[in-house]
């Protein structure tokens, strides 16, 4: 009887709220930077980084979007701790990615790649902190997807295992390609390459995977995933 009560309490504890917050918050953050980038004067989503939206007159809006993504991932990490099919490591790694997103929001990127318009490229301490947070975001998302792949397969969830495996490939490949293109842009070897597009593919893939996984876990009663 006591075991049954404890199981029921776990189903009604805040973990379900975290899953709901991630299911809603992650897609909203993606939509926010799409709309903001499309309506921002001088901003080119093809070339510029998502983090560049934290600069300029509407910079607060861009920073808020990044912070929202971080909070959504942290909420999802907390909720997925009650999803045995995902395993213990995926939530921990998602917590790393979520915390890194909050750091990236708190410490803005330096101007560069022609944004903000007419702003000269500079190097600052807060820009350096931002640059260090970026790899942690994508490494955390990649490792979380890889960890979930094995556990979901073992739990008899082959469909979600394959999806997670694809995410573990798309996120790092897209991000690394974007990083290389950004370097070529700064070196004036390839002006205005699709570096921003690559970063968007990487981050959107990771965030939407988190949202989908949390949504399914919540639908399963927050004690299963996929």
| pLDDT tens-place string over residues 100-141 | 999 999 999 999 999 999 888 889 999 999 999 999 999 999
Closest CA to 111 of 171, 51, 70: 51
pLDDT of amino acid 7: 37
Number of Cα atoms under 13 Å in the Cβ half of residue 20 = 7
Among the ranges given (55-59, 138-142, 218-222), the one the predictor scored with the smallest mean pLDDT: 218-222
pLDDT tens digit sequence for 141-197: 999 999 999 999 988 899 999 999 999 999 999 999 999 999 999 999 999 999 999
Q: What's the burial of 118, exposed, middle or buried (CB within 10 Å: 0-12/13-18/19+)?
A: exposed
What does the pLDDT average to over 1-26?
Answer: 63
Chain-wide mean pLDDT for the chain? 90
Percent of the chain with pLDDT over 70: 91
pLDDT of amino acid 90: 96
pLDDT over 70 (residue 222): no
pLDDT of amino acid 8: 41
Q: Domain spans of the chain?
A: 15-219
What does the pLDDT average to over 69-87?
Answer: 93
pLDDT of amino acid 221: 58
- pTM comes to 0.89
pLDDT of amino acid 15: 72
Q: Quick one: three-class SS letters along 54-102? A: HCCCCHHHHHHHHHHHHHHHHHHHHHHCCCHHHCCHHHHHHHHHHHHHH
What does the pLDDT average to over 201-209?
Answer: 98
């Amino acid at each position: 009887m006591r075991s049954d009560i404890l199981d029921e309490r776990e189903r009604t504890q805040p973990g379900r709220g975290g899953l709901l917050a991630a299911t809603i918050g992650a897609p909203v953050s993606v939509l926010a930077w799409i709309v903001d980038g499309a309506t921002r004067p001088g901003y080119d989503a093809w070339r510029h980084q998502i983090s560049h939206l934290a600069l300029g007159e509407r910079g607060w809006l861009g920073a808020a979007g990044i912070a929202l993504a971080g909070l959504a991932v942290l909420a999802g990490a907390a909720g997925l701790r009650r999803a045995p099919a995902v395993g213990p490591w995926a939530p921990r790694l998602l917590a790393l990615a979520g915390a890194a997103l909050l750091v990236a929001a708190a410490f803005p990127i330096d101007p560069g790649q022609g944004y903000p318009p007419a702003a000269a490229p500079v190097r600052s301490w807060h820009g350096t902190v931002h640059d260090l947070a970026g790899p942690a975001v994508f490494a955390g998302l990649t490792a979380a997807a890889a960890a979930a792949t094995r556990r979901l397969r073992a739990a008899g969830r082959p469909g979600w295992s394959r999806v997670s495996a694809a995410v573990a490939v798309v996120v790092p490949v897209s991000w690394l390609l974007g990083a290389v293109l950004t370097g070529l842009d700064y070196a004036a070897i390839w002006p205005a390459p699709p570096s921003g597009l690559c970063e968007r593919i990487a981050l959107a893939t990771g965030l939407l995977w988190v949202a989908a996984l949390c949504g399914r876990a919540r639908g399963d009663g927050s004690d299963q995933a996929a």
